[in-house]
C-alpha cells in the first residue's frame, strides 16, 4: 500500500467515536504507517501515525520526522499529513512543535499568535521559487486547541481533497519537495531570533549540533601508503543511521541490476560486474547542503582510490584503479556535471527510486 491508498483508507474509515483500541481499523492502520512509507521517504526519516492517546483525536495525523532534527512532535520542525475534522481533506504541512510551548504560552491565543508570527518569519527565509504554491494556511475544521495551533504553526502546506487525490507519484514528489523545505527551514530557524508578543517573551535560537563528535582522523598522519592501509580502518568516522539506510536501500536496488555489492571496510560499498569494479562513497545531504556532501565524497573517493588500490594490478600487470561513484540521499543538481568532469559518476535517491549522471546511466547503474 502506498501513500495515496493509505490516506484514502484512513479518511474513509476513521471514526473518533470508536476510540483508540487496537481493533479499531483506522487506529490499527495509523499504528502501521511505517511500512506504507518505507520506500517513500528520504533516508533517515521516521514515520508515525497518531490517532489520539486515550481519547481519539479529532484530526488524526501522520508525522514524518527527520531524525537529525527531531523525533518528537512536541518540539522542533517536522512534516505531517493532518486530516481535517470532517475527513474531507488532508494537508501536508511543515510543522513547528507546539506542545512544549504550553508551559510558557498556554494553549490558546497567545501560543497561536507566537506560532503564526514565527511561521511567517521562517517562510520569509525560504527561496520564493521553492515555496510558490505552498504558502497556504491550513483549515482543519476544528475549534480544538491542538488543531488550531497546527494551523497557526504551519510554515508551508498543501491541501488535498481526499475525493480527488493526486497520483502516488505526485504525492511522493510533493513529500520530497517538503523534505527539502524542511532542511532549509531548519537552517533558517538556527539563525532566527523571534520576539513573542504579548508578554515580550524573548526567544533566541542557536545553531544545533545534530551529531555527537566521534573519534575520527584527529592526529592521523600516515608516513606512507602502508601506514595508511594499516590504520585507516580504526580511524574511520562512525556511520550514522541515515547513512546506513542509504547504503542498505542502494544495495538492495543495485543487486537487482546484476551487480555484486559488498562492504569492505573502510570502503562504503564495492560493486563488481563484468570484470569491472566500482568504489562507492555514500553521503547524506544534511540540511540541504549538497556542497559539503560532494566535497567529502570527492576527497574520500580519490583518497581511497590512491591508497587502497596502490598495489593492485589487472591481468596484464597494469595498475588497476576502480571506477568511482558518489552516492547521495538527494539530487545534487549542478554538482553532477562537476563530478563527471572529475571522472566520478553519481547516483541519488528520488521519490520514485534512483537517478544518476550520464556515466552512471552508461554503466547500467540507473536507467
pTM of the prediction? 0.74
Residues 79, 177 contacting (CB under 8 angstroms): no
Is residue 94 predicted with pLDDT exceeding 70? yes
Q: What is the pLDDT of residue 312?
A: 62
234-242: list long-range contacts, CB under 8 Å, 24+ apart.
Answer: 236/265, 236/266, 238/214, 240/44, 240/211, 240/284, 241/44, 241/67, 242/43, 242/44, 242/45, 242/67, 242/68, 242/284, 242/329
- For 67-123, give the secondary structure using H, E and C: CCCCCCCCCCEEEEEEECCCCCEEEEEEEECCHHHHHHHCCCHHHHHHHHHHHHHHH
- The answer to whether 268 and 280 are in contact (CB under 8 A) is yes
Query: Per DSSP, what are the bridge partners of residue 160?
Result: 90
Cα–Cα dist 261/254, whole Å: 8
Mean pLDDT confidence for 222-239: 50
Please give the order of strands across the beta sheet that includes 323-328: 260-262, 269-273, 276-283, 323-328, 344-349, 354-356
Rounded mean pLDDT, 249-257: 93
From residue 303, alpha-carbon distances to 10, 237, 251, 299, 325 in Å are: 51, 15, 23, 6, 13
pLDDT, tens digit (0-9, with 9 covering 90-100), for 278-325: 999 999 888 778 899 999 999 999 999 988 887 665 555 555 789 999
Confidence of residue 217 (pLDDT cuts 50, 70, 90): very low
Please write the tens of the pLDDT for every residue from 63-90: 999 988 888 888 889 999 999 999 999 9
Average pLDDT value over all residues in the chain: 84
How buried is residue 252: exposed, middle or buried, by Cβ count under 10 Å (0-12/13-18/19+)?
A: exposed
Of the listed ranges 162-171, 241-250, 341-350, the one predicted with least confidence: 241-250
> What is the biggest distance separating any 2 CA atoms in the chain, rounded to whole angstroms?
78
Cβ count within 10 A of residue 172: 22
In the chain the domains, ranked by start, together with CATH numbers, are 3-204 (3.30.930), 225-362 (3.40.1350)
Cα separation, 158 vs 135, whole angstroms: 8
Question: 298: which 3 cell numbers?
Answer: 570527492
Lowest pLDDT segment from 133-142, 237-246, 318-327: 237-246
Amino acid at each position: 500500500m502506498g501513500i495515496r491508498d493509505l490516506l484514502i483508507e484512513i479518511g474513509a474509515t476513521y471514526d473518533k467515536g470508536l476510540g483508540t483500541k487496537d481493533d479499531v481499523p483506522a487506529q490499527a492502520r495509523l499504528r502501521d504507517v511505517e511500512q506504507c512509507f518505507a520506500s517513500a521517504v528520504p533516508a533517515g526519516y521516521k514515520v508515525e501515525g497518531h490517532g489520539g492517546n486515550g481519547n481519539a483525536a479529532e484530526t488524526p495525523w501522520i508525522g514524518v520526522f527527520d531524525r537529525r532534527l527531531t523525533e518528537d512532535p512536541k518540539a522542533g520542525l517536522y512534516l505531517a499529513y493532518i486530516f481535517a475534522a470532517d475527513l474531507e481533506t488532508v494537508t501536508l504541512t511543515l510543522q513547528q512543535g507546539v506542545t512544549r510551548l504550553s508551559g510558557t504560552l498556554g494553549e490558546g491565543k497567545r501560543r497561536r499568535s507566537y506560532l503564526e508570527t514565527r511561521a511567517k518569519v521562517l517562510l520569509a527565509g525560504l527561496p520564493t521559487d521553492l515555496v510558490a504554491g505552498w504558502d497556504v494556511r491550513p483549515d482543519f475544521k476544528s475549534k480544538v486547541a491542538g488543531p488550531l495551533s497546527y494551523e497557526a504553526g504551519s510554515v508551508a502546506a498543501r491541501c488535498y481533497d481526499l475525493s480527488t487525490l493526486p497520483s502516488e507519484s505526485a504525492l511522493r514528489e510533493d513529500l520530497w519537495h517538503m523534505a527539502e523545505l524542511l532542511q532549509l527551514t531548519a537552517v533558517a530557524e538556527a539563525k532566527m531570533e523571534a520576539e513573542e508578543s504579548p508578554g515580550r517573551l524573548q526567544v533566541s535560537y542557536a545553531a544545533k549540533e545534530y551529531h555527537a563528535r566521534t573519534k575520527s582522523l584527529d592526529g592521523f598522519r600516515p608516513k606512507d601508503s602502508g601506514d595508511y592501509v594499516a590504520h585507516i580502518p580504526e580511524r574511520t568516522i562512525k556511520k550514522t543511521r541515515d547513512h546506513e539506510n542509504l547504503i542498505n536501500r542502494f544495495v538492495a536496488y543495485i543487486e537487482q541490476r546484476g551487480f555484486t555489492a559488498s562492504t569492505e571496510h573502510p570502503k562504503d560499498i564495492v560493486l563488481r560486474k563484468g570484470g569491472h569494479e566500482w568504489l562507492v562513497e555514500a553521503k547524506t545531504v544534511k540540511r540541504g547542503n549538497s556542497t559539503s556532501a560532494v566535497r567529502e565524497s570527492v576527497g574520500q573517493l580519490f583518497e581511497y582510490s590512491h591508497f587502497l588500490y596502490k598495489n593492485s594490478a589487472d591481468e596484464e600487470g597494469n595498475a588497476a584503479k576502480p571506477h568511482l561513484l558518489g552516492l547521495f540521499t538527494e539530487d545534487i543538481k549542478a554538482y553532477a556535471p562537476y563530478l563527471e568532469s572529475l571522472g566520478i559518476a553519481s547516483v541519488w535517491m528520488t521519490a520514485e527510486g534512483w537517478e544518476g549522471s550520464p556515466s552512471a546511466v552508461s554503466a547500467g547503474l540507473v536507467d
